[in-house]
Structures are given as structure tokens and as C-alpha cells.
Amino acid sequence: MRDDGLDLDEPGPSPSPANDAEAVDTGPAGPKTTPAPYPLAPSKPAGADFPQVIREIMVGHKMTRVAWGDDGIYIFLQDDRLRLRKAAGTVHDLIVSGGDIQATDWVIARLH
């Protein structure tokens, strides 16, 4: 036992894969869990990043951003160009912004 009262030889609770806020120590005494000293980042962003968007568009999907707030606004490939369909139904060449390239909230558009 250490001076601070923590017994490192005392077996801890068994590791739980469902609890991401724990770190597992698999030392010679066997697995032990201890709370992580900081919150762990989510394992995956909520949506796709821009390289994934390009892959999805290449196979025919229409993609939108959650930040746009409207599935009627989406991008797609037409005649080897990226196109943007606006909510009013007009279609334009897409001018990609830095924000769009860095975004990770891209999802496949649900067309009605």
C-alpha cells in the first residue's frame, strides 16, 4: 500500500469495453481499470469528412451538410462537375469553401 492509501495490488473492477472513460492496465497482476485523467474524444465524428464526400458522390450519392439544415440543399456530380442544388430547385456549379472542406458533418441527403 502506498502512503496515500491507494493499494495498487488490490484488484480493481473488471474492464468494461462499454465504458470509454476508463483506461485498462494489463500489468503482471492482471487487468485493472482506472479512470482516464481527461475525457476521451469520440471515436468517430458525426458525419463524413470531405474526402469521404467525394467518394460517396463518385458512386452516385447526393451529399448535404447538417449545418445547412435542409436536405433540399445538396451536392452531386453532373457531367464531371460538382453541382449544388439549392432548396428552390436551382442548380449551380459548386464553389467549395474552406469550411466545407474542413467540415465533418456531411451526410447522404434524404430526398423526398
pLDDT of the residue at 110: 84
Same domain, 68 and 100: yes
pLDDT of the residue at 3: 53
Same domain, 1 and 37: yes
pTM: 0.57
pLDDT of the residue at 111: 80
- The residue segments making up the domain with residue 21 are 1-42
Which of 98, 71, 69, 73 has the alpha carbon at shortest distance from 83? 73
Give the three cell numbers for residue 14. Answer: 473488471
Same domain, 56 and 75: yes
CA distance 15 to 84: 48
Same domain, 34 and 67: no
Same domain, 33 and 54: no
Same domain, 60 and 97: yes
The total domain count for the chain is: 2
Same domain, 83 and 99: yes
20 vs 8, 30, 32, 60, 100, CA distance in Å?
22, 19, 14, 36, 30
Same domain, 35 and 65: no
Residue 72 contacts residue 87 (beta carbons within 8 Å): yes
Which runs of consecutive H residues, i.e. helices, occur in the chain?
A: 50-58, 98-102
Same domain, 61 and 14: no
Same domain, 102 and 69: yes
Q: Which residue type sits at 108? A: I
Same domain, 28 and 57: no
pLDDT of the residue at 69: 86
- Which parts of the chain sit beneath pLDDT 70? 1-46, 112
Same domain, 35 and 62: no
